[in-house]
Amino acid sequence: MSQAMPQISVVVPVHDEEGAAGDLAREIAGALQGRAFEMIFVDDASRDGTRAELAAARAALPQLRVLAHGANAGQSRAVRTGVLAARGEIILTLDGDGQNPPGDGPALIDLLLASPPEVALVGGRRAKRQDSQAKLWASRWANRIRKRLLGDDADDTGCGLKAFRREAYLRLPYFDHMHRYLPALMIREGYRNLYLDVSHRPRGVGRSKYTNWSRLKASVSDLLGVIWLKSRARRPGQVVEL
């Protein structure tokens, strides 16, 4: 199956996830067994043994590809690196910390494949988040404010588990932290989004790369930027070739 052109490319950004990355790759392979898929783990300049762990895992996982950043560039750039390298028409993303169970991925993929072309994204919605009360509170208010200002339809845009069409993603403007605004950006391009409840589990090893304060500092400028992008969007209507 690794020799055939994959239909699905699973893109996983990782940074300092030694002890979790290899297990996550094996779990993804089990969840997508029987499908034409590849896994692209993008190591965002880890300082631990993440890269070596993934390299060792390739011996038993022919679908696994490992890309490595020379400098830390953030989650959105890692996702973009993976999507640019992907060969599948459908992209499935998961957070590298293992909190998104890969077993939920096929349901998102199948819904996207069964949907008309104007549906470009199926987002996960964490039904029972296994995070601290402080993180849950901050996320709840951030989602409310973002939805109010951008008019998007996502209740949980921070969920890393998403399935989307590669072609649609490549039409979106790139900026750092754009992964949090994919639903709004898809709508800006004239696409539709769908959502499914997914599971969530506690982090097994390592620690979060984000804090509520760091998210707040980035989100203010990002939100203003996406509002500006929406205000400058002009749609051409139906495009026909004469």
> Is the alpha carbon torsion for 54, 58, 62, 65 positive or negative?
positive
Euclidean distance between CA atoms 117 and 165, whole angstroms: 9
pLDDT mean for each 10 residues of the chain (242 residues): 80 96 97 97 97 96 98 97 98 94 97 98 85 64 79 87 98 94 95 95 67 61 91 89 93
AA identity, residue 123: G
What is the homologous superfamily of the domain 8-231 according to CATH? Spore Coat Polysaccharide Biosynthesis Protein SpsA; Chain A (3.90.550.10)
pLDDT of residue 1: 41
Euclidean distance between CA atoms 134 and 214, whole angstroms: 14
pLDDT of residue 146: 79
| Domains in the chain: boundaries | 8-231
Residue 91 pairs in a beta bridge with 9, 164
Q: Note the helical H segments in 115-192.
A: 133-150, 166-169, 182-188
pLDDT of residue 154: 87
Half-sphere exposure in the Cβ direction for 168 (13 Å, CA): 24
Contact 89, 168 (CB under 8 A): no
Phi, psi of 70 (to 5 degrees): -80, -20
Euclidean distance between CA atoms 242 and 239, whole angstroms: 10
Euclidean distance between CA atoms 21 and 43, whole angstroms: 10
Euclidean distance between CA atoms 159 and 92, whole angstroms: 12
Residue with tokens 């987002």: 123
Of 7, 11, 4, nearest to 64 (Cα)? 11
Euclidean distance between CA atoms 12 and 161, whole angstroms: 10
Sheet with 90-93, strands from edge to edge, namely 64-68, 37-43, 8-14, 90-93, 162-165, 119-126, 192-198
AA identity, residue 9: S
Largest CA distance in the chain: 57
Cβ-based neighbours of 205, under 8 Å, separated by 6 or more: 17, 18, 19, 20
